[in-house]
Amino acid sequence: MASFKEQINANYPVLVDFYATWCGPCKMQTPVLEELSKELTVGKVLKIDIDKNQAAAQAYKIQAVPTLIIFKHGKEVWRKSGMVPKHELRQIMEKLS
């Protein structure tokens, strides 16, 4: 399996969900991201558990969960904390692809 760094270095948008298992809004965001992942023609959705990956959470300065970050070519191109509706995420992913 490709490393996190290899995956976010893709030439298509990669949406990363920084979440925690104990977080209510994270649990509500999960089905939205699962649906989005199935619908995307270009791009990828990854999930990072901040409790299991504290170094990644610190490296990307995650202050709240869920925090969604879209990377392209290894660079952060979009970030938002809190719940984000699927239509908004799809629009952004399509625009960046």
Decide if pLDDT at 10 tops 80.
yes
Cα distances from 5 to residues 23, 34, 72, 75, in angstroms, run 25, 22, 11, 10
Structural domains of the chain, with CATH: 9-96 (3.40.30.10)
Active site residues: 23, 26
Decide if pLDDT at 76 tops 90.
yes
**In the prediction, which pLDDT does 22 show?**
98
Q: Judging by beta carbons within 10 Å of its beta carbon (0-12, 13-18, 19+), is residue 41 exposed, middle or buried?
A: exposed
Give the whole-angstrom CA distance, residue 27 versus residue 23. Answer: 6
**In the prediction, which pLDDT does 38 show?**
96
**In the prediction, which pLDDT does 2 show?**
79
pTM score, whole prediction = 0.96
**In the prediction, which pLDDT does 83 show?**
96
What pLDDT digit, counting tens, does each position of 13-68 carry? 999 999 999 999 999 999 999 999 999 999 999 999 999 999 999 999 999 999 99
